[in-house]
Chain A
Amino acid sequence: MSDLLHIQDLSVVIAATPIIKNVSLKVAAGEILGLVGASGSGKSMTARAIMQLLPPGASMTGSVQLRGEELSGMSAARMQAVRGRDVGMIFQEPMSALNPLMCIGDQVAESVRLHRTVSRRSARDAARAALDQVGLSGEAGALDRLPYELSGGQQQRVAIAMAIVMAPCLVVADEPTTALDVITQAQVLALLRDLARLRGMGLLLVTHDLAVIAQLADRIAVMQQGEIIEQGNTAQILQHGRLPYTQALLSAARLRPKRALEPRPDAAEVLRVEGVLLEYPRKRRSLFKAAPPLRAVDGVSMSIRAGETVGLVGESGSGKSSLLKVILALQNPGQGGVKLLGTAFSAMAGRSTRRLRRDIQAVFQDPVGSFDPRWPVERLIAEPFFLLDAPPWGAERRRKVAEVLDQVGLNAGDAQRYPHEFSGGQRQRIAIARALITQPAVIAFDEAVSALDVLVREQILELLAQLAERLNVAYLFVTHDLHVIRAIADRIYVMQRGRIVEEGATESVFSSPQHAYTRALIEATPLLPEANESLRARARGSIAD
């Protein structure tokens, strides 16, 4: 196959710091190359270098050739013509890639009109054809819809339509499915694969998720600290990835169960949720007609035993976050209730609820927003001491904070630093330390590892498994990520539209899911094949379907 994209010795330097070092890559027509690496490895910068869209202050050396034509050093005007016409780009956040005030038909048509002098009508026809290809022009008036009327997956389809409408020979996709839920992710990936296969289009897929790449890519290039450390056929890399870094990425993507817990039906129940119903009022349709309320949580019951890790899985909007608010007594349910250690626990402020709060703590998703930027770590970690009748202070407080910092693998000296001095993974460790300080019976995790890089996620899950074992604390793990849940949970609940549709021991749910929704979720989740599984058969199967 002839080379479509040929990158030779590409280096990028920003403010005297090398970001990319001597990267060489090739993408042939119709080929899918997966570029994988942890965050900060330089993979997004490589994608931007191809488009000649480097941040100000960056300088680039080396050569980027598209169909034999040199792109580096090309004039801005000519490069502008190449972008969109010859190379399309898809970004991670579909919402911010689209103009919120322009209907999607016009946005796609605009990509055409920028490159070709065509009538409004024929541009719109081209747009319709492109939207048709991404499966969006089915309904009447589809072209006139505005971005906010579309779901995240549909928005990403529009972004893909914009990238392919000029029939470029190469598409660069930077984390195209990271912001999407699993079922949508599977659809978007299948779409990208079909486009590459059917149109003979080259696809450079940049992602941190090896499982996604394994499903799609013909070849994989592994990037670490600005260098390509290993590249080869997908099967070859997955089975015989030699370097320790590749191995680490592989094992992080496989996410083996972190512990094997024997079921302990005799363990005491620490948390019980009974028939919780939560409704949100909706905007009135008119002065006289109230809209029916939105039922976010619809009669959910669940229980957690001491020392057990329970997973709560569902897509975004399934009501799992609302349920978590009720469980944490931050929101009153419309009906039903929560019992913590056998006592009613609700947001109706009361002495018993306040006393009970020390037994349930939480870790949240955003490692940046979880901490008041003006507080030092010691004060942050000690905040839940507010719940104790006689909070320790001075040397005693310092000793207790040092103790939990040690438990989560940080130094006692970190207590005097501020949150912005830590990396995302370290901050989640601080959040875990804060949750541990009152020695709770249950810790709730709201998508606590979703914002983390695969390798860091692996470490945090490892740490959590150890802590659960050592401290006999129960976890309620709320996430949309089936990988994570499979690695950590003993038992899972699957939530869809406010209801629990399936529950059971993790392995039995994964091996024989009963509910159609659970099956769809599991099938959509990209899984890395085990090293011995025949990849070839898998690849053939995916082309056939």
Chain B
Amino acid sequence: MKGRAARDWSLTLGAGVTACFIAAAVLAAFWVPFDPQLLHIVDKLQPPSRHHWLGTDQLGRDVLSLLMAGAKTSVGVALLAVIIGAGVGVPLGLIGAAYRGAVDEAVMRGNDLIFAFPALLLAILITAVFGPGAINAIIAIGIFNIPVFARVSRAGALQAWTRDYTLAARVAGKGRWRISWEHILPNLFGLLVVQATIQFSLGVIAEAGLAYVGLGAQPPVPSWGRMLNEAQTLTALAPWLALMPGLAMLMFVLGLNLLGEGLRRGTERAP
């Protein structure tokens, strides 16, 4: 009884918070209170007021608008990185589980190679070659999502392959590809949704981290990480500049984690 209530609570709260941030990101694509690229030096470093709800920065830009536009960048980068990771990783995991042996070994050792490589190092490598930017951040984060999805889907698929329904499908003349597609993948769906939520939240943090060290989204594209970086020297003068993007990130990641946790418990219960 207690467990169920706790699950419902974390699922609801997580879904609510996540929905708010995604709605803000979508809204930012069409409308923001003030143009985040428009400088208005006269109004610089204003504390939160009725006019600027979350204040303005050192160049007079509206912090709320910057946060909304930053959410758009954040959601976009994290989402595309998850799509890259799942799009490449899940098929790799399925192939490994379906063929076992040398194929499996090659796929999983390749994954280990990516895992062994520090994330930031690869990001620096990519930006050094292709130049910093949101697209390259997506690629770097996406590459790091690949082994995670490959492992999760391989583990789930290995378990599914032990069930007699895969034997029945083989007796019905179906090949490994078709069984993976028709029987294995749909049964992994819950598992993958949970993993996607977790990778999404990690993607948000990674995007901010890369932008913070100047390897992610470049000006004038707004980003929470760069907002934090720019606010660094002004924390004594205008604490809200660091506080607002920090809080936004904390809430968003917390919401995503609660959502993932709620989904995980939900899928565990299901047969």
Contacts and interface: CB of A to CB of B under 8 A. Distances in A.
Interface in B173-201: 173-175, 183, 186-187
B170 A330 contact: yes
Contacts of B175: 349
A383 B174 CA distance: 9
Contacts of B183: 372
B107 to A, nearest CB: 21
Nearest to B184: A372
B168 interface: yes
Contacts of B167: 330, 362, 364
Given A372-B183, A420-B271, A357 B173 contact: yes
A383 B168 CA distance: 9
Contacts of A366: 163-164
Interface string B82-93: 000000000000
B183 to A, nearest CB: 5
A372 B171 contact: no
A406 to B, nearest CB: 21
A309 B183 CA distance: 32
B171 A362 contact: yes
Contacts of B271: 373, 420
A88 to B, nearest CB: 33
B173 A372 contact: no
Contacts of A373: 187, 271
B172 A384 contact: yes
B164 to A, nearest CB: 4
A106 B200 CA distance: 48
Interface residues of B, number: 17
A386 B173 contact: yes
Contact of B171 (A328, A365, A369): A328
Interface in A327-372: 328, 330, 349, 354, 357-358, 360-362, 364-366, 369-372
B34 interface: no
Contacts of B174: 383, 386
Nearest to A358: B173
Contacts of A420: 271
A268 interface: no
B187 A374 contact: yes
Given A354-B173, A383-B172, A387-B173, A364 B164 contact: yes
A349 B175 CA distance: 10
A347 to B, nearest CB: 9
A369 B164 CA distance: 5
B165 interface: yes
A284 B251 CA distance: 53
Which interface residue of A362, A369, A372, A434 has the most chain B CB atoms within 10 A?
A372
Contacts of B170: 328, 330
Interface in A217-268: none
A357 B171 contact: yes
A357 B170 CA distance: 10
B163 A369 contact: yes
Interface residues of A, number: 25
B169 to A, nearest CB: 6
Contacts of B168: 362, 364, 370-371, 383, 431, 434
A358 B271 CA distance: 31
Nearest to A362: B171
Contacts of A361: 171
Contacts of A371: 165, 168
Contacts of A349: 175
Nearest to B183: A372
A383 B187 CA distance: 17
A383 B169 contact: yes
Contact of B186 (A360, A364, A370, A374): A374
B165 A357 contact: no
Interface in A368-408: 369-374, 383-384, 386-387
B173 A369 contact: no
A166 B271 CA distance: 41
A371 B169 CA distance: 10
Given A330-B167, A420-B271, A386 B172 contact: yes
A418 to B, nearest CB: 10
Interface string A148-181: 0000000000000000000000000000000000
B171 A370 contact: no
A386 B169 CA distance: 9
A387 B170 CA distance: 11
B164 A387 contact: no
Contact of A330 (B163, B165, B171, B186): B171
A357 B171 CA distance: 7
A373 B172 CA distance: 17
A357 B164 contact: no
A383 B261 CA distance: 35
A335 B170 CA distance: 22
Interface in B18-34: none
A201 B78 CA distance: 67
Nearest to A57: B1
Contact of B172 (A365, A369, A374, A387): A387
Interface in B129-186: 162-165, 167-175, 183, 186
Nearest to A379: B182
A374 B160 CA distance: 13
A361 B165 CA distance: 13
B186 to A, nearest CB: 5
Contacts of B172: 357, 383-384, 386-387
A420 B170 CA distance: 22
Contacts of A362: 167-168, 171
Going nearest first, the 9 A-B pairs with the smallest beta carbon separation are A364-B164, A369-B163, A384-B172, A370-B164, A369-B164, A387-B173, A357-B173, A372-B165, A383-B172
16 contacts: A328-B170, A330-B170, A330-B171, A349-B175, A357-B173, A365-B164, A370-B163, A371-B165, A372-B165, A372-B186, A373-B271, A374-B187, A383-B172, A386-B173, A387-B172, A387-B173
Given A358-B173, A431-B168, 17 more contacts: A328-B170, A328-B171, A357-B172, A357-B173, A360-B171, A362-B167, A364-B164, A364-B167, A364-B168, A370-B168, A372-B183, A373-B271, A374-B186, A383-B168, A384-B171, A386-B172, A434-B168
